[in-house]
Structure formats: structure tokens, C-alpha cells
Structure 1
């Protein structure tokens, strides 16, 4: 993919659905097929599958990870639009309507993290077969807090430069980071010992769902002991205070901020700071590398908030200079509030609203890859709608109407003008910019039949002296060793890393085969 060849004057925002991706991961897996259908904006030709719950592009935009409510994770190749890996039921969930809560890629695309209700599964895609480390984050936090019910995982995000550390938000308002680096090393060590003991015997016994049994030899207590948990936020309700007061005073690991019920959290671009939102405030934490806690830097109250409003989510811009908050309830209805990254007074720079109906809920909100536009997904007028604003002046650039389905999640491609929206029927709609050849040649007309054209050898050569040029080129040295990295990924503050590439297993029936996943 030659990014330098992209037209800089091409429209920055998509305009229509180019393709729909549907895998066999749904409830009707016997009849579904991985297909690429053109986006007509209707339900005709769409197949039924488990609803989508999360989508995420990797850093380069080569792959798209999709999570379903049945716990299945599918990795798609964006260019060929074929499924590369399928991991059925890799996330356990007590509620069949939740499944995969969050997906995130490591910086080099070797690790894919999938979060369910209680566990986080870190999948190593570089291994053959793929290896997964299941991290019981909810059980670890509950045991650390003395058996308190901390709810289920609400969202999870990998740290920017550490693929064994994640930021977790629970449904009961807890925010914490968990590092499973020691756990992964110990489990791999135990597995190598088990393999040597078996001496050629059959490996992991397969179980349902395409996974393999855990034979790492570690019990629950040993697993939880190897987890490193840093608590950022802990609800201060009376019920929690009465249960945790004694535990908090005795444990040195229980130093944490007394923030109200947390609703969302996100790392900044560097991964050193954490932005946490409560019902009406924003709290910023710094990373204390030498301690077991994160230090609270400052906090401020959202100026637009009321007693009936709630902050539902936070999204940082790709450049790291701004962020937006999704707020619902109150007199203002559904709104998106934009702030500078250094804001400390709570006054939003720009307020985005649905110009037609302010009561329509925003299911998700993302920035474009250049940060110049803001995209929000809503369900209005009996169909899914994408609202696109310019992020600097609150101008509604476009309104895109999709199928008669709700958009559960979405992701913006990191380098292309493409939006992936996860639909309620289990499909992924890819919004893009169609090629209009008539725009380059208004008098262009389609020929009724093919015309054979014989091209001269030097017809499109800049210099017709081919022989002279070839003789001069023979004396030039050709560098075949140096790898020139794309300038679009270069940054003064970030070191470039080599990105792992998945092998193409084939399309159609070959790619639909369930891939093995060894859970350590």
C-alpha cells in the first residue's frame, strides 16, 4: 500500500457504503458465508449473524478486528476484504447479548486484546497456532478489594507501548490498570515444562469452541498473585465504604483516588497519563512508575453538566491535542463536548448536537484520521445515521444514512477515508469514497464493446532513447538493503516499530475454517 501516492486533494470524508463484511460467526453459522457485498443502503442480500459489539483497526490499517455478542472475534484483511482469522467463543460472557466488550491492537499488531465480562484475552497472533493468555481481571480486583462486587468489564484499552498492560473500566465505576507480563512469562515457562514431560505425546486436548485446555499448571491464587493491579478510581458510595474501610486502611496496595462513580477512561497519546470521566467531571492521573498507584494531577467539573446529565464516553484525537466527551440527559439532550487537552476550567470549546433531534442517542463517536472531522453514530428516522462535523468550527459537513439498523460501534481507518461500522445484524459496513471517472472526463462514454488497442512500446515513455537510458542505468548503484519507512507514520516523539503481518490463509471456505487458539 503506497500511502505517498494518495491524492492529497481527495475528499477527506466518506460518502457511501462501499462493501459489507459478514462472517460465519453468527447464530446461523450453517447458512452464513463470508461475503463482500456492495453497499446499497438496504437490507437486501444481508445475512443474519450475531450482532457486532466492537470493531478496531490496527495501527497501520491493514487489518480490522471485529467482535460479536456471541464472543467470537474475526480478523479481516482490509484490502482483500477476506477473513484472516476466526476465534469462536474466545470471550466468555454470562450475558449472551454482551460478548466482546472491547478490542484493541498492540503497536506492532502482534497482540490483539479482547475483553469480555470478567476476563481479558490477549491473543498472540505471531504464534502458530495463536496463543491466548486469559487474564481474570475482575476476580483479581475483587480479591484485592476484599471480595467486593466490582461488576463487569465496561471497556478495556491497551497501553500505547506496553502490550501486557491494559486500562479497565467496570460497570460499578472502578478504573484500574492491570499488567500481566509476569503471568505470561510464568505460564509459558510452565507450558514448556509440560511439553518436555509429555515427550511427544499429544498436546493440549481440544475443547468446544476451537480452544484448548489450560495446562499451564498454575492455580487461581498463583495467577492472581502474578497480576500487577494499580487502582485509579474507586466509587465512594456508602455501601462500598462500609465494606472496604477495614481493607483499605490495612493494605499498602490500596492507595487510590476517592473519585465518584467513573463512567469512562482513556490513555493519552503517550500512555503516561489517564483521563477518567465521572458523571459530571474529568480527572487526570499521572503514571507513577515506582509506585503501585497513579497520582491524581488535577480535576475539573464539566460546565455544561446538570444534575440529570451523565458523561458516557471519552475519545482523544489522533494528534493528542484535544478530546471529546459524550454527554446525555438534561435539558441539552445528547451532546458531544470538545475540549483542548490542557483544559482545566471545564468550559467546552465546541458543543456538537444532532440538528434534527437532540434526543437521539449517540452510540459511538470517533475522530477522523487527521483529526479534522468528528463522526458520531446515531439511530434516527428508523435507520442508522452518521453525523460528520468539522472539528474546528462545529459545521455539519455531511449526514450519511445507512441501512435500517442500529450502528453498535465504529472505527475510522488510520490512513484512508474509510469508516467501519458494526451493525446490529452482525455485518460490518465499510463507508468510503466511490471512484467517479466522469469527474475526470465529463465527455466520457462507455463503449458498447471492447476495442482492441495496440500500444507502441515507447508511447508513454518520457524519453524515447531507451537504449541510451539503459546503458546509463547500468553504472548506477541500487540500494536493496535500506528500508524506507512511510513518512505518514513518522513522528519526532515516537520511534517507529516493525509491524507484524498475518499470513493469508485463503478466502471463502478456506478462511471460514475455525482457527485453533491455545489458551495458556
Structure 2
């Protein structure tokens, strides 16, 4: 459809309604796009540092390097950003001001707000294990436990207490983590191709599964309704899983869901003729399609049907486009924003064909311009009365309407009024006198 560029973009995120698009840049700025008008609404630039915390985090100038992740709070009032130098900054969108800062010892490749609590963030350092981090006083860090050792089975449903595991070597390994829609679980994908399902209330491991043919999981994405999980790894296929979280209002349903597991293997998406790896993938807003970006320098988007897994279309960018690093689907509309390797944001949307014959059956669409020869008086400005007079032999329409009843009465009764015994309306005449 079009492209957006303001600096070199590295990551993007839509707000909940899709009206604003936050883009992190390689220069450390946060650009807020008004997506309806395609104009820049805000631009956040780091200012003076704030006091540090007591947990080892500091508050140096946070964003002198590239922004690696941005995320919105549920109410759309705050944006959190993570940078390659380990800095986290929370921005107030309306006031264009930073309200919180902290800096870790390692680069942060992902950050996200807790869907139910904007004062807690999920942080994924590149040289440490994922953790929950309190954005406020105390700055408490809680590491998410990961399954120790390998997982041979496709899926292992269990309950392993998280205490004691959150500080071991496995839990301190780098991983990619996201919240479930209800924030009752966290899905942690590590560099061994294992996804661990952690219960946030107890920090217990409730399930672990091995992604087929994968040794490294690059990204995991949830559908908008939170019922499907899409895994991008170094395998030749994209793997999807059905998410079946237990119902908190029904203990029996919760027990059944834990027995069957929170994640269940679903559809696999691939291109049989072009079996390359994938750089990023995501569900569309309605969940009907899966959009995947092929790894490499080519700008290609593959579109599959979610249920059948059939490849329906391959979208290719122009000659000046580069590879894709991230895909962000619009939360309400049928379009996606692809972050190009060259820092340009490419907007891909559905192509609509106008059918004017649906409004006017006599409408005829021409493929190319045609010379139309009009009649001599076709476009003359003539009053309706004059046009009717010309078309009816010089008689005005009003005169014909007035004469028509009189002519009809005369044809029905041809006798003159004098023969009816009444002189009618004429006065009597006197004969002239005669002379004798």
C-alpha cells in the first residue's frame, strides 16, 4: 500500500485500537505514528538520567543505541521501550515524558507490559533468563523457571515447583517469553527449541514441549483472541499451537485443561517449493490467515489459511525493498506492517476492487478511454418547460393540461346549451321595431 519512514525503524507495536503505531529507531528515538493520517504524532527523545535502584540496575542515559523492542500498555497511555544497552524507559504518551527508567547489564531484546498490571513488565535479556520486573519502587526481579534438561517427548504435562529452579543454569539461559492473553501463564521459548509454560501465580512449570526440527526458537506470537500460538524457529516450517487455558470460574474445567495441557500442537505452515527459514510470522487481526516473512535479503510475505494451512499468496516487495525483521498485524483491520531491514515500514493491506455496477446496473466500465460523440442538444442548459414545448410541437405542457378537460367534455356532449331550453349564460336579444 505505502511505506513510512522516520529514521531507521528497528521495531514496531500497535496500540490496542490500532490508531497509533510506536516505532523504535536505531538512533534511540521512539516515533509515534498517527496511523489514520500517516503522520508523526509524537517523538520521544531521552533526556537527563534519573536516580538508580538498589538491585544493581542503573539509570544512565538509556537510549544512545538502537531500540530493540517497544510495547503499549492495555489502556494505551504508556509505551515501554528496551534498548541494546539494557535500558528500559516507560513513556507517558499524552505528556511526552518519561516516567520510569532502569538499565540492566545485558541488552534487552524484548519487553512487554503485564496485560493486567501496567506496573509489571516482562523483560528478556540477551545474556540472562527472562524475568518479571516491577516498574516502580523496589524494582523486584523474578526469574521465570525453565524446564531443566531436554524434553524428548513432543509434549510433557507436569507440575514442577518453580522455587529452586528460577536460579539454576537452565532458567538463567536466554529465552523469548510472552504473556498469555489472560496473563495467567507465560510461554518461555529457549535456544534449545523447548517451550516451557509457567503459571504466573505460583511460578510452577505446568507443561513443556519440544518444537519439531527446531534447535532455536526466534519468536513466538499470540493471535488476537489468545487461542493460538505461532512459533518461528530455525526449522523449515512455522508451528502453531492451540491455547487452552483453564477457566478460573470453573475448577473442573481448569483441572481438565491442566490434564490435557495448555498448548496442543495444531497446523504447520511451509512453502513446499521454497523451503527456507523464516524471520518472523504473525496472525492477522481476525485470525483467518498467517503471514510469514522469509529469512534473507528478499522482501517476501507468505500468506496461509489458518485452519487448512494452505498457501494462498506470496507477496513480493519492489526492487528497492530489503529483508523483513518483524511483522506487526493491525488489531482491527486486514493489514500488516513489515519492518524492513533498511529501516522502512511497509504497509501491506488487502486489495479492494470497486464494482460500480452494483450501484447502477446500467453502468459500463471501460478498460481504456473512449471518444464519446454527444448529441447536439445533449448537454444544453434548457428549462424543462421549454424542452417539453419543443418536443410537443410548440405547445406548453401547462396549456395542454388545461385544454385537455374542456376538449374531453365537448366530445362527450356535442349539443349547444341553447337547445336545452335554457338560454345559457347569454343575455336575450330584442328584435328591432317594424314600421307600418
**Pairing 1:59-138 to 2, within 5 Å after superposition:** 59-88=16-45, 92=62, 96=65, 99-117=66-84, 118-127=86-95, 129-136=96-103, 138=104
Task: Give 2:322's aligned residue.
Answer: 405
CA distance in 2, matches of 1:452, 1:66: 57
CA distance in 2, matches of 1:303, 1:20: 35
Q: C-alpha offsets along residues 144-178 of structure 1, whole Å, 9 cap, x if unaligned? A: xxxxxxx3212111111222211111212401000
CA distance in 2, matches of 1:74, 1:114: 11
Say if 2:188 is the partner of 1:276. Answer: yes
Higher relative contact order (CA 8 A, sep 6+): 1
TM-score (norm 1): 0.56
- Kept in 1, the 8 Å contact 2:221–2:230? The answer is yes
CA distance in 2, matches of 1:324, 1:228: 30
Q: The residue matched to 1:181 in structure 2 has which SS?
A: coil
Which of 333, 353, 373 is the equivalent residue of 1:416? 333
Which of 25, 41, 56 is the equivalent residue of 2:13? 56
- Aligned-pair Cα RMSD in Å: 3.1
Kindly tell me the number of residue pairs found equivalent between the two proteins. Answer: 323
- Kept in 1, the 8 Å contact 2:62–2:101? The answer is no
Task: Give 1:387 deviation, angstroms.
Answer: 0.8
Q: C-alpha offsets along residues 99-142 of structure 1, whole Å, 9 cap, x if unaligned? A: 11111111111001111131111001122x42342122x25xxx
Task: Give 1:392's aligned residue.
Answer: 307
CA distance in 1, matches of 2:336, 2:364: 32
CA distance in 1, matches of 2:44, 2:287: 33
- Kept in 1, the 8 Å contact 2:145–2:165? The answer is no
**Pairing 1:112-511 to 2, within 5 Å after superposition:** 112-117=79-84, 118-127=86-95, 129-136=96-103, 138-139=104-105, 151-182=106-137, 226-233=138-145, 256=167, 259=170, 261-278=173-190, 279-288=192-201, 294-302=202-210, 304-305=212-213, 309-328=215-234, 333-342=235-244, 344=261, 348-359=265-276, 361-379=277-295, 383-403=298-318, 404-438=321-355, 440=357, 443-445=364-366
CA distance in 1, matches of 2:307, 2:135: 40
Structure 1 residues 394 and 74, CA gap change in structure 2 (3 angstroms): same
Task: Give 1:344 deviation, angstroms.
Answer: 3.7
Q: The residue matched to 1:318 in structure 2 has which SS?
A: coil
TM-score (norm 2): 0.67
CA distance in 2, matches of 1:75, 1:345: 36
- Kept in 2, the 8 Å contact 1:263–1:313? The answer is no
Task: Give 2:159's aligned residue.
Answer: none
Task: Give 1:189's aligned residue.
Answer: none
Structure 1 residues 447 and 379, CA gap change in structure 2 (3 angstroms): farther
Unaligned runs of 5+ in 2: 48-60, 150-162, 245-259, 373-378, 382-436
- Kept in 1, the 8 Å contact 2:243–2:262? The answer is no
CA distance in 2, matches of 1:110, 1:346: 32
